[in-house]
Amino acid sequence: MAKMRAVQVAQPGAPFELVERDVPEPGYGEVRIKVQACGVCHSDAIAKEGWVPGIPYPIIPGHEVAGVIEVLGEGVIGWDVGTRVGVGWFGGNCGHCEPCRRGQLINCQNIKIPGLNFDGGYAEAMVAPASGLVRIPDDLSAEDAAPLLCAGVTTYNALRQSGAEPGDVVAVLGLGGLGHLGVQFAAKMGFRTVAIARGPDKAEFAKKLGAHVYIDSAAEDAAAELAKLGGAKTILATVPNSQAMSQLVAGLAVRGVMVIVGVGSEPLQFSAMDLIPANRTIKGHPSGASIDSEDTLNFSVLTEVRPMIEVMPLEEAAAAYDKMMAAKARFRMVLTTGA
């Protein structure tokens, strides 16, 4: 049987190991993808450290996958060998649970997640359900497409579903892996874009990304500064800092919404009076289905939004992961296979 290189985690907390595995064969409704690039995401730590039960170890992480279809499984319709495709956090849905029946595919109760409940993209090949596939535009490289299938769709989809309209004040909290894309998308969507981060040194970078206003939350009361602008129709919270999120609630406009995409470990702290008089809303947003990812890629090509990436070969997955976890990546790490 043909072999491939892959990076796996043998058990919770174990180090990454480069191994030789049999090339997988697709089952019914699946395709095999020749992986060209795979992003390294903070959520890969779920499999690396075993933060949730039921992970089938040994597991190959990776849910920001870009490549080419090389084998079609039985029953696959609408896809061809040689088509450039990607797979993100949404790796397929069951089709029969209540959220699926209501068209809420990203909320599928049996969602397929690459690198978490089936082998992901830290490998030269992977098998994925056809329902999770995303077409990659010709004008987008595999390396750029990979992070857009997670960080990209998360920020793009959150913004376009937030209720904000062109000209509205939209603030993006954080300028990291999610935030640097959120600012670009917000500006390209026609929002009056406010970037919020710590330190004066980030002001020039924020403006380069398209922000119209920069707020240094280390030196200013960010909520008060937003209030001076009339309040934010939407605040996209990308940092895993619950305190920073909580302090911004007062900066929302009347009927404004804070959309949380950064996962903090501490609870949010605000009072009912921060919400009720102005009809403010705080909600979470979970990425998007495969068609949402496709929309994200097409919009990125149309408006020239691109992730800022650092590329490393597959065999250096451990180093790429460590750099990402240490918050030293600028701003997304991407593994390549040489395919």
What residue ranges do the domains of the chain occupy?
A: 3-150+288-336, 162-284
CB atoms within 10 A of CB 53: 5
Query: Mean pLDDT of all residues in the chain?
Result: 97
Q: How far apart are CA 252 and CA 231, in angstroms?
A: 5
Residue type, 171: A
Query: What does the pLDDT read at residue 1?
Result: 79
Could you tell me the pLDDT band of residue 253, with boundaries at 50, 70 and 90? very high
List, for residues 276-333, the tens digit of each pLDDT value.
Answer: 999 999 999 999 999 999 999 999 999 999 999 999 999 999 999 999 999 999 999 9
Query: What does the pLDDT read at residue 264?
Result: 81
Could you tell me the pLDDT band of residue 14, with boundaries at 50, 70 and 90? very high
Tokens of 3: 């072999």
Tokens of 80: 């061809």
Could you tell me the pLDDT band of residue 163, with boundaries at 50, 70 and 90? very high
List, for residues 255-277, the tens digit of each pLDDT value.
Answer: 999 999 998 889 999 999 999 99
CATH class of 3-150+288-336: alpha beta
Query: What does the pLDDT read at residue 189?
Result: 98
Strand partners, 196: 173, 215
Query: What does the pLDDT read at residue 263?
Result: 87
List, for residues 67-116, the tens digit of each pLDDT value.
Answer: 999 999 999 999 999 999 999 999 999 999 999 999 999 999 999 999 99
Query: What does the pLDDT read at residue 319?
Result: 98
Q: Report the percentage of the chain scoring pLDDT > 70.
A: 100
Cis amide prior to 15 (ω within 30 degrees): no
Residue 43 in contact with residue 81, Cβ under 8 Å? no
Q: How far apart are CA 151 and CA 217, in angstroms?
A: 23
Domains 3-150+288-336 and 162-284 alike in fold? no
Query: What does the pLDDT read at residue 233?
Result: 98
Residue 231 in contact with residue 204, Cβ under 8 Å? no
Look up the CATH number of domain 162-284. 3.40.50.720
CA angle 181, 183, 184 (to 5 degrees): 65
CA nearest to 117, candidates 54, 192, 169: 54
Residue 122 has pLDDT above 90, yes or no: yes
Q: How far apart are CA 122 and CA 126, in angstroms?
A: 9
Query: What does the pLDDT read at residue 338?
Result: 93
| Positions of E strands within the chain | 3-9, 16-22, 30-40, 65-72, 84-87, 125-129, 134-135, 169-173, 192-197, 213-216, 232-237, 252-260, 281-284, 309-313, 332-336
Distance between alpha carbon 182 and the CA centroid of its chain, in Å? Answer: 11
Q: How far apart are CA 119 and CA 238, in angstroms?
A: 27
CA nearest to 177, candidates 287, 41, 290: 41
User: Residue 57 phi/psi, 5° resolution?
Assistant: -75, 150
Q: What is the mean pLDDT of residues 242-261?
A: 97
Q: How far apart are CA 271 and CA 258, in angstroms?
A: 15
